[in-house]
Amino acid sequence: MDGEELTEQETALYDRQIRVWGPNAQRRLTKSHILVSGIKGTVAEFCKNIVLAGVGSVTLMDDRLVNEEALNANFLIPPDENAYTGKTVAEICCDSLRDFNPMVHVSVEKGDLSTFGAEFFEKFDVVVIGYGTRVIKKSVNEQCRKLSKRVAFYTVDCRDSCGEIFVDLQNYKYTKKKLEETVECELNYPSFQEAISVPWKPIPRRTAKLYFAMRVIEVFEESEGRKHGECSLLDRAKVLEIKKKLCEANSVSESHIPDNLLERLITGHTEFPPACAIVGGILAQEVIKAVSGKGDPLKNFFYFDAQDGKGVMEDISDSFTS
Amino acid sequence: MDTQHQQSALKAAKVLMVGAGGIGCELLKTLALSGFEDIHIIDMDTIEVSNLNRQFLFRRSHVGQSKAKVARDAVLRFRPHINIRSYHANVKNPEFDADFFKQFDVILNGLDNLDARRHVNRLCLAADVPLVESGTTGFLGQVTVHVKGKTECYECQTKPAPKTYPVCTITSTPTKFVHCIVWAKDLLFAKLFGDKNQDNDLNVRSNNSASSSKETEDVFERAEDEDIEQYGRKIYDHVFGYNIETALSNEETWKNRRRPRPIYSKEVLPESLTQQNGSSQNSSVTDGDSMISVMPSLGLKNPQELWGLTQNSLVFIEALKLFFAKRKKEIGHLTFDKDDQLAVEFVTAAANIRAESFGIPLHSLFEAKGIAGNIVHAVATTNAIVAGLIVIEAIKVLKKDVDKYRMTYCLEHPSRKLLLMPVQPFEPNPSCYVCSKTPLVLEINTQKSKLRDLVDKIVKAKLGMNLPLIMHGASLLYEVGDDLDDIMVANYNANLEKHLSELPSPVVNGSILTVEDLQQELSCKINIKHREEFDEEKEPEGMVLSGWTQSPATNGESASTSNNENAIDATDSSSGPEIVTKKRRLSETKPENHKKEAENVESEEDDDLVEIENPMMVSKKKKRVE
């Protein structure tokens, strides 16, 4: 297929997974370039998974200095103060990840994601935003969409024992085996902006409550100028007020979003490592699918909640209104 | 949330992990991050290169070292203050008895084989410690909770035995590549390099059965001074040429089948190979028996490449030559091992030549190795997800949150939008011989079967006992152990060779045997039913064990054999996604069975499974854990 064969070394190392997705998919993986911004527990899990899978390169962005909080669910940071003082999260994680698989090129990019232009994003096949404001997510998504090549765009957000993944593959064509024949499939994804501004009223009631709850938190953090996860039970009243407003604006009843779910999301700022492992695992699986062109990709939201144990896909686009 | 309370509960908990492989590495990491501080871990394996794509606690420099120990050291690097104790040992060792298990609050399995899973299940029942069980294959995974008296045990549902094929399909009428692999591995390889005294169906049964079996036996014996290449060609011509000709003479067989083509070495190979391929000098670069290979000397590099008939024939002859040249001492007691490169090359070549003969598509070494070695597909992501699910269940178990226990399936294709599908656990199966001590029934010919057959085929293979003891009434027929005196051992050995009806205390129709394993603290009764005849193809063991609910035939789950890594009971990923649904539908149609019904996994309308009000669910729910 496309270009050179896998080396003997690659075949030996990746033996068990080549048996899952085949040598062609493995070859595509080894040529893919992934940008990851914002490394908390879930993204650390994600990075470990794609580095093990053998992608071509991973570029890490997270200029936070390492502190106690960053250590919480992130096993890429050894808790040795002497080693991490003065270093950024991305730098420390980079060292650990390189060690996992010497065949993957892992590097650090510094700077504010919102200042980068389209020519920067063009270098990548996949962009993952671990945490960031709604504004940043929107603008990066738009930059990616402007490019002539398709850059797969993902955001991931874990709070308490819940997690959300958003996927934008724009126009995505792939093949899959159905019984004995291979069929062509095509999917059209809404942008981040489109997907989070779908009117609520026509969305089926069985849709994961987390979709609505996350939007409330997003609006709250933006309107208060908070950083990601910077909220507590003290903010309960304000959050409920925003929920009320959003529900009214969308003409749905307030029972649409349970209060206790919102409470969990604003109070649980220590990450729950099992949820990080699960959501980071699903995210990596999705990126591997998109890069290798094998398997039905997620469209376009995924939710996990450890409380009921469900991992559910939601397709949320304006198709509900049409 | 009572986070504070939960953290201190995790801190105080003492947990045992069995297995430090694919799931184990992920599990140890997630347990440590989640706040568990007292973790014991058992694994008998050492690290191999093919582990490194997912067992992220290991590096290339660790190859050959104990998994349990290296995993422990790696996790202590990011959580230095917790207690992790590693055991580089087999969980079936006698020191890991019920008393050992009793010190733990919960046992977490990340195992790769049925045998060890059953063993741990029994010890958990004996010690009354909850068990969280898990498995993955490719993108599929599964986590279950087993708590004595509250949920079903691991063995409440029978586990399908590894896939077997009818003897004549293997010996005479292969239609799939796997049949050729089984022939090459279990018949040809075993005949040439394994124990010569074992029964072997390698030679085709021809109608004129008089065709001196003496004579054909001798084909496989190499005379002292016989040239190895000549010997190899003789074997080649016999199994791919002469045997096929013989088979073709049975016209009846080929009435509705494609006739195979006999292949002789002179058609595909030059007169002499020795000059151009002096295999002996090429192998000197290798550094161990398992690394010896004919591929470099034949200019073959890529294991995923398809070899033609000539290449396969060259590999066949050269591999056979190398076995005699380099590994002569092992001949006579070799068994096929997927990590033995030369064995894999020989089996691949032999299977391909046979496939060519029968018009079956050939396969690469890479593919053949996967089939021959029962290699289970494995990726890091599924293991990470399953490990996360195990920890979530372990926390519920510690909180004794029985209502919230879930069995979770990790799917490749979403079912009703779900990629992770939680299901309520099932009640114990009242007819489970392991956790409910229900008697079993064994149909057997008591005049023709020896006690040895019963011990090997039933007590060890089917009941999974490690150190069995067999009693008939008050009479002790058989036991194993270190503390037996010579006279007893001699007595038991003599009993093994006796037919059941000739034992000191004769076992006949209506007899009740008590079979026990003292280590597993499992005891069960077997009712003996005498039966004269057994179907050779369908009941090749010559005996039939029944008594606990047999799950209806095959349902996509199969082969979880002992060399599998991280196996759930699924053979290949393509049939995988159907496991869940198939299994359930099967049981739905059989309401009288102890069952797993899927349709009540979730209510359609409500997010919250616990509050299901649908009256349809009530009766089904009863069978589940309250």
Of B30, B54, B608, the CB nearest to A16: B54
Angle in degrees, CA B198, B203, B209, rounded to 5: 110
**Which residues 23-42 of B have a C-beta within 8 angstroms of A?**
26, 29-30, 32-34
* pLDDT for the residue numbered B71: 97
- Residue B607: its pLDDT value, please? 32
> Looking at beta carbons, which residues of chain B come within 8 Å of A281?
380-382, 384-385, 388
Look up the CATH number of the domain holding residue B220: 1.10.10.520
Same domain, yes or no: B195 and B339? yes
CA dihedral in degrees (A276, A278, A283, A286; nearest 10)? Answer: 170
> How far, in Å, CA of B513 to CA of B234, rounded?
51
Contact A54 B53 (CB under 8 A): yes
Please indicate, yes or no, whether residues B269 and B350 belong to a single structural domain of this protein. Answer: yes
- Ordered DSSP codes for B520-551: TTEEEEEEEEE-S---TTT-TTSEEEE-SPPP
Give the sign of the dihedral formed by CA B338, CA B342, CA B344, CA B347: negative
Question: In this structure, are residues A160 and A270 in contact, taking their beta carbons and an 8 Å threshold?
Answer: no
Does residue B88 share a domain with residue B236? Answer: no
Query: DSSP readout, A174-230?
Result: EEEEETTEEEEEEEEPPPHHHHHSS-STTS-TTS-HHHHHHHHHHHHHHHTTPPTT-
In this structure, what are the phi and psi dihedrals at residue B383, rounded to the nearest 5 degrees?
-60, -40
Whichever domain contains B462, its CATH number is 3.10.290.20
> Does B114 belong to an annotated binding site?
yes
Contact A20 B422 (CB under 8 A): no
Cβ contact (<8 Å) for A314 and B608?
Answer: no
Q: Is residue B431 part of a domain?
A: no
d(CA B541, CA B417): 45
Chain A positions in Cβ-Cβ contact with residue B604 (cut-off 8 Å): 206
One domain, residues B392 and B451: no
pLDDT band for B619, please (50, 70, 90 cuts): very low
pLDDT for A72 beyond 90? no
Q: Whose structure tokens read 């957000």? A: A157
Contact A15 B609 (CB under 8 A): no
CB neighbours of residue B536 within 10 Å:
11
Minimal CA separation from A92 to chain B, in Å: 12
Distance CA B183, CA B190 (A): 10
For residue B29, give the nearest of A75, A206, A313 by CB distance: A75
Report yes or no on B487 lying in a domain: yes
Domain boundaries, position B310: 175-359
pLDDT tens string A265-320: 998 767 899 999 999 999 999 999 999 888 889 999 999 999 999 999 999 987 76
Of A53, A100, A274, the CB nearest to B392: A274
Active site residues of B: 168
Dump strand ranges (E) for B71-225. 83-87, 106-109, 131-137, 140-146
Q: Which residues of A115-130 are buried (b: 16+ CB within 10 A; e: fewer)?
A: ebeeebbeebbbbbbb
The confidence band for B603, taking pLDDT boundaries of 50, 70 and 90, is: very low
- In chain A, which residues have their Cβ closer than 8 Å to the Cβ of B609? 308
DSSP state of B592: T
Average pLDDT over residues A7-36: 87
Percent of chain B with pLDDT over 90: 47
Most confident of A42-51, B242-251, B585-594, B602-611: A42-51
Q: How many CA atoms lie within 13 A of B6 on its CB side?
A: 14
Determine the residue among A7, A11, A19 to mutate to test chain B binding: the one whose Cβ has the most chain B Cβ atoms within 10 Å.
Answer: A19
Residue B570 belongs to a domain: no
Per-residue confidence (pLDDT) for residue B162, from 0 to 100:
64
Tell whether B561 is covered by a domain: no
Nearest neighbour of B78 by CB, restricted to A14, A41, A78: A78
Contact between chains at A274 and B77 (C-beta distance less than 8 A) = no
Contact assignment for B80 to A79 by CB distance below 8 Å: yes
Res. B165: pLDDT tops 90:
no
Q: In chain B, which residues have their Cβ closer than 8 Å to the Cβ of A79?
A: 78-80
CB contact at 8 A, B22 and B110: yes
Give the C-alpha separation, A23 to A20, whole Å: 9
Q: Which residues of A touch B60 (CB under 8 A)?
A: 102
pLDDT value of residue B39: 98
Do B213 and B127 reside in the same domain of the chain?
Answer: no
Summarize pLDDT for B12-68 with one digit per residue, the tens.
999 999 999 999 999 999 999 999 999 999 999 999 888 888 899 999 899 999 999
| Residues of B with Cβ-Cβ distance to A73 under 8 angstroms | 33
- Check whether residue B330 and residue B204 sit in a common domain: yes
What span, in angstroms and rounded, lies between the C-alpha atoms of A213 and A264? 10
Please indicate if any CB of chain A lies within 8 Å of the CB of B387.
Answer: yes
- In this structure, the answer to whether residues B214 and B278 fall within a common structural domain is yes
Cα gap A52→A178, rounded to integer Å? 29
Specify the amino acid at residue B550. Answer: Q
Which residues of A are less than 8 Å from B563 in CB distance? Answer: none
- B420 closest CB neighbour out of A6, A272, A309: A309
Which residue in chain B is spatially nearest to A305 when comparing CA positions?
Answer: B420
Q: What is the mean pLDDT of chain B?
A: 81
Q: Is residue B596 part of a domain?
A: no
Residues B308 and B397 in one domain: no
The enclosing domain of B88 has a CATH number of 3.40.50.720
* Band (B425; pLDDT cuts 50, 70, 90): very high
d(C-alpha B374, C-alpha B381), whole Å: 21
Sign of the dihedral through C-alpha A48, A50, A53, A56: negative
Report the residue of chain A nearest B138, measured CA to CA: A20
Per the domain annotation, does B317 fall within a domain?
Answer: yes
**B35 min Cα distance to partner chain A (Å):** 9
Contact A15 B56 (CB under 8 A): no
- pLDDT of A2: 46
Asked if the structure places residue B616 within a domain, the reply is no
Which residues, numbered 49 to 88 in chain B, qualify as contacts with chain A under a Cβ-Cβ cut-off of 8 Å?
Answer: 49-50, 52-54, 56, 59-60, 77-80
Q: pLDDT grade, residue B446 (50/70/90)?
A: very high
Asked if B512 and B527 touch (Cβ cutoff 8 Å), the reply is: yes
Does pLDDT of A51 surpass 90? yes
Higher pLDDT, B352 or B620: B352
Question: What domains sit in chain A, N to C, each tagged with a CATH number?
Answer: 8-194+271-313 (3.40.50.720), 195-267 (no CATH)
For the stretch B281-334, pLDDT in tens is 444 444 456 678 888 888 888 888 899 999 999 999 999 999 998 888 888 888
Residue with more model confidence, B412 or B285: B412
Query: Is residue B345 scored above 80 in pLDDT?
Result: yes
Listed residues B517, B546, B575: the one ending a domain: B546
Residue A322: which pLDDT band, with cuts at 50, 70 and 90? low
Is B9 annotated to bind ligand?
A: no
Chain A CB contacts of B408 below 8 Å: 309
Q: Which residues contact B401 (CB under 8 A, 6 or more apart)?
A: none
DSSP 8-state code for residue B508:
-
Q: Which residues of A touch B28 (CB under 8 A)?
A: none
User: Which element (helix H / strand E) includes B582?
Assistant: helix B578-588
Domains held by chain B: number = 3
Secondary element (H or E) of residue B620:
helix B615-622
Residues of A in contact with B392 (CB under 8 A): 274, 306, 309
> How many beta-carbon pairs under 8 angstroms link A with B?
175
User: Average pLDDT of A73-89?
Assistant: 87
The pLDDT confidence band at residue B386, using thresholds 50, 70 and 90, is very high
Tell me whether B436 touches chain A (CB under 8 Å).
no
CB A129 within 8 A of CB A136: yes
B110: annotated binding-site residue? no
Which position has the higher pLDDT, B224 or B446? B446
Helix axis angle, B380-398 to A273-292, nearest 10°: 160
> Per the omega criterion (within 30 degrees of 0), is the bond before B282 cis?
no
Q: Indicate whether B9 and B124 sit together in one domain.
A: yes
- Whether B138 has its CB under 8 Å from any CB of chain A: the answer is yes
Q: How far apart are CA B18 and CA A313, in angstroms?
A: 33
Confirm whether B574 is domain-assigned.
no
Same domain, B411 and B491: no
This complex has an ipTM of 0.95
Question: Are the beta carbons of A49 and A281 closer than 8 angstroms?
Answer: yes
Chain A: residue whose CA lies nearest to B382: A281
Q: Do A275 and B388 touch (CB under 8 A)?
A: yes
- DSSP states of B459-477: IITTT--SSEEEEETTEEE
The answer to whether the CB atoms of A17 and B53 lie below 8 A apart is: yes
Out of B52, B80, B389, the one facing A13 most closely (by C-beta) is: B52
CB contact under 8 A, A48 and B420: no
Q: Which of B33, B108, B137, B341 is the best substitution to test chain A (most A C-beta atoms within 10 A)?
A: B33
In angstroms, rounded to a whole number, what is the distance separating the alpha carbons of residues A71 and A65? 11
Query: Residues B31, B153: one domain?
Result: yes
Tens of pLDDT, residue by residue over A214-253, are 999 999 999 998 888 888 889 999 999 999 999 999 999 8
Q: What is the DSSP string of B148-178?
A: TTTS--TTSSPPPPPP---HHHHHT---SHH
Task: Name the nearest CA neighbour of A222 among A209, A238, A237.
Answer: A238
Whether residues B34 and A160 touch (CB distance < 8 A) is answered with no
What DSSP character marks residue B72?
H
Average pLDDT (B359-366) is 94
Query: Binding site annotation covers B564?
Result: no
Q: Smallest Cβ distance to B380: which of A13, A53, A264?
A: A53
pLDDT at B414 over 50: yes
Using left for φ > 0, alpha for ψ between -120 and 50, and beta otherwise, residue B394 falls in alpha
Taking phi over 0 as left and psi of -120 to 50 as alpha, with beta for the rest, B593 belongs to beta
* DSSP code, position A88: B
Q: At A29, is the pLDDT very low, low, confident or very high (cuts 50, 70, 90)? A: very high
B150 and B228 part of one domain:
no
Q: Which of A45, A304, A312 sits opposite B384 (nearest CB)?
A: A45
Flag whether B21 is marked binding.
yes
